[in-house]
Amino acid sequence: MKARYLIPLGIFLILVVFLAIGLTKDPRDVPSVLIDKKASEFSLPDLFDPTKTVESSAMKGKVWLLNVWGTWCPECWREHDFLLYLAKQEQFPIVGIDWRDDDEEAKRFLRQKGNPFLAVGVDPESKAIMDLGVYGAPETFLIDRQGVIRKKHKGAMTQKVWRDEFRPLIDELEKG
């Protein structure tokens, strides 16, 4: 057999390798360009009292989490218990942005399941979340004392993500 008959096989194998690498990557995972940049300031109507506003500037000087969620998002239901754990057991400050949601539905959700948020702003027109480069829910941002985004997690927050990715960074931020 001549070696040149092996060329198509070789090309095929190279293709297989490339496609296999492609399969391990998530095409929906768009890397954020906002990491280590100042988080855009927002001022949104308070979910529980529309006459008040929820301001990001109120969190200045703290290391805190910003969680974008909505009752329409199944993963938000899934992560809710863990957010409650963070708020209640670890006393970690979390501010919520309720994105494109029905206000009444959101209030009912938080009353029934518990409210892990210090405050919840509503963003029915995607104004604030677009400034944060959000394109899905849930997304969780870790913001430092100077108001800089240090980390962003897409999808449900879990024990594992918290322990492996957030906690070490938070310890560092709170020390410094």
Judged by the rule CB under 8 A, the positions of this chain that interact with other proteins are 27-28, 30-34, 100, 125-126, 130-133, 135-136
Q: How far is CA 175 from CA 47, 103, 144, 145, 168, in A?
A: 33, 38, 11, 11, 11
When the beta carbons of 63 and 153 are compared against other proteins, the nearer one is: 153
Closest approach, Cβ 43 to other proteins, in A, equals 17
When the beta carbons of 34 and 148 are compared against other proteins, the nearer one is: 34
Closest approach, Cβ 90 to other proteins, in A, equals 30
Closest approach, Cβ 78 to other proteins, in A, equals 19
When the beta carbons of 50 and 124 are compared against other proteins, the nearer one is: 124
When the beta carbons of 39 and 54 are compared against other proteins, the nearer one is: 39
Chain-centre distance for alpha carbon 169? 16
When the beta carbons of 37 and 167 are compared against other proteins, the nearer one is: 37
Measured between alpha carbons, how far is 134 from 160 in angstroms, rounded to an integer? 22
Contact (Cβ atoms closer than 8 angstroms) between residue 100 and residue 77: no
Closest approach, Cβ 134 to other proteins, in A, equals 8
Closest to 39 in 3D by CA, of 8, 6, 62 = 62
Measured between alpha carbons, how far is 95 from 117 in angstroms, rounded to an integer? 5
Tell me the two tokens of residue 163: 């322990």
Closest approach, Cβ 38 to other proteins, in A, equals 12
DSSP H or E stretch at residue 159: helix 159-161
